[in-house]
Amino acid sequence: MTSALRPLLATRACATPTRVALPTDITYTGDIDWIAIERAITGDLPRPQLTRAEQLTATLLLVQAGWTEKDTAEAVGVNRRQIARWKFDNGLSGASTCTADDCDDLVKGRGLCLKHYKQDQRRRERYTAPAKRMPRRREPAKCGTRPGYKRHLREDTQACDACRAANANYGADRYRAAA
């Protein structure tokens, strides 16, 4: 923005009037429509549909003018979380660089960028993961019981007399219990 700037009194969302500098002699810069940005900031109706580049430009202007994330998101027409991301990406919200050697990326957590944070997270999981228990081997079902009868069916073998009797008694016992 090398052109002359005109101050725009932004009173809608701020407690105290703050001036937002917008270009006066041009209406377009690349893919940015300055008139649409001005209308979005002042709250003119009907509200203009801003492109992504216009939303980002308006966000940076409003944040630098002292607008809150909530008010900026409402004026620009994006989610509050997106405003926070753009502030972070452009170094406006206390963003700092990674503490790992030779890394200048912005911090995600624990003083590390996303790449180093994920590495640290994997390292921590390796040392804190509980030991996996081996599954217990079960004894096969014994003959003379209902599970023994069902084992005969699963293995497609002829059920022995004891298993047939246990299966018959199982149904009778359930019938008597319900009565």
**Per-residue pLDDT tens over the stretch 6-59:** 455 444 444 444 677 777 777 877 888 888 888 888 888 888 889 999 999 999
CA 120 to chain centre: 20
* Domain ranges, residue 168: 146-178
The reply to whether 14 and 59 lie within a common domain is: yes
Q: The tokens of 20 are what?
A: 């937002």
Tell whether 151 is covered by a domain. Answer: yes
Q: For the chain, first and last CA: distance in Å?
A: 89
| Distance separating alpha carbons of residues 70 and 61, to the nearest angstrom | 14
Q: The tokens of 75 are what?
A: 């004026």
The reply to whether 15 and 84 lie within a common domain is: yes
Q: What is the pLDDT of residue 15?
A: 44
How much is the pTM?
Answer: 0.47
Q: Which is more confidently placed, 127 or 9?
A: 127
| Distance separating alpha carbons of residues 53 and 56, to the nearest angstrom | 5
Judged against a pLDDT cut of 90, whether residue 131 lies above it is answered with no
Question: Looking at the 3D structure of the chain, how many domains does it have?
Answer: 3
Tell whether 140 is covered by a domain. Answer: no
Q: Which is more confidently placed, 41 or 106?
A: 41
Angle between helices 52-64 and 80-89 (to 10 degrees): 80
The reply to whether 114 and 73 lie within a common domain is: no
